[in-house]
Amino acid sequence: MERLLSNLLSNSVKYTPKGGSVIVSARIDETPGWVRLVVEDTGYGIPPENLPHIFDRFYRVRNAQTNAAQGLGLGLYICKELVTRQGGQIWATSAQGQGAVFSFTLPVFSLSNLIAPAIRNKRRKGSPITLVVTEIGSQTGWLSGEVRAQQFHGIRDLLQRCLHSDLDVLLPKMGSARAVELFFIVAITDGIGGEAITKRIREQLDGWEHFKDAGLTFSTAYRSLEAIKQNAHESLDSFLERIAGKIQKLIDEEISLRMVEND
């Protein structure tokens, strides 16, 4: 499936407006389950002092030739909202006079398919399910979208090492809570198992020197669902969709809670 998707995304599209060109390309990201799309232009570029703010609401960059601000300052802000609401990341790089490169990632996955291997052997017994939530913040604010993305990948690697069972699944990014990054683990276990996972995560993050040096903060906790049993005439696909719906509801609640806190 991933090879097929990679072939479909391998071609780039070139658009040539007046005064330059724009190339749009897409590929499978380094992180499994993600697609990265890249938009490159050959314009005047973005001054370094403007680059950290271009996704801010109503922020406008002045034209290098006329020194006049253009647009309403909403286009890139809306792009960021659309990408982050789907769980992706967006960032930009630029060398003045050489154009700009805008990159963003989007998830390609099904929650029910991700949890299927862990659920398959436990569905009749109706084992409890626990959602482990790890929140990562920055004491001084994220330096840039690119740095934030790098930290995100490093923390995912660490969290993956905290999983000691094939019944634990580290999910792809499920949404944005603006100032913080949220990581979700679905574990086929009860509250005792959830406490054991959160303890391992705390120990790993407390002992990670890079984490401290980067000025990052964290909290981790868990929420458990009651055991969900498969009905007598319910197909496995329907059962998985029902469980995925309950997990997604918990995830949405966690994201909404942080959105309110950060407003």
User: Is residue 125 domain-shared with residue 233, that is, in the same domain?
Assistant: yes
User: Is residue 88 domain-shared with residue 171, that is, in the same domain?
Assistant: no
Domain hosting residue 94, numbered range: 2-107
Q: Among residues 107, 122, 143, which one ends one of the domains?
A: 107
Contact 88, 105 (CB under 8 A): yes
- Cα 57 to Cα 54: distance, rounded to the nearest angstrom: 8
pLDDT of residue 169: 92
Q: How many domains does the chain have?
A: 2
User: Is residue 126 domain-shared with residue 221, that is, in the same domain?
Assistant: yes
User: Is residue 132 domain-shared with residue 234, that is, in the same domain?
Assistant: yes
User: Is residue 257 domain-shared with residue 157, that is, in the same domain?
Assistant: yes
Instruction: Indicate which CATH number applies to the domain containing 46.
Output: 3.30.565.10
Query: What is the crossing angle of helices 111-120 and 236-262, to 10°?
Result: 120
User: Is residue 101 domain-shared with residue 129, that is, in the same domain?
Assistant: no
Q: What is the mean pLDDT of each run of 10 residues along the chain (263 residues)?
A: 48 62 82 83 82 84 57 82 79 85 85 84 70 91 76 88 87 78 92 94 91 89 89 88 92 86 62
Q: Among residues 107, 139, 167, which one ends one of the domains?
A: 107
Q: Among residues 107, 128, 163, which one ends one of the domains?
A: 107
**Counting Cβ atoms within 10 Å, is residue 140 exposed (0-12), middle (13-18) or buried (19+)?**
exposed
- Please report the beta strands in 5-139, taking only residues with DSSP state E, as ranges in sequence order: 13-15, 22-28, 34-41, 90-94, 100-107, 129-138
pLDDT of residue 1: 39
User: Is residue 83 domain-shared with residue 190, that is, in the same domain?
Assistant: no
**Counting Cβ atoms within 10 Å, is residue 5 exposed (0-12), middle (13-18) or buried (19+)?**
middle
Closest C-alpha to 165, from 136, 132, 202, 135: 132
User: Is residue 73 domain-shared with residue 48, that is, in the same domain?
Assistant: yes
pLDDT of residue 2: 45
**Cβ-based neighbours of 78, under 8 Å, separated by 6 or more:** none
Contact 53, 33 (CB under 8 A): no
- Cα 185 to Cα 97: distance, rounded to the nearest angstrom: 44
User: Is residue 90 domain-shared with residue 175, that is, in the same domain?
Assistant: no
User: Is residue 119 domain-shared with residue 72, that is, in the same domain?
Assistant: no
User: Is residue 23 domain-shared with residue 115, that is, in the same domain?
Assistant: no
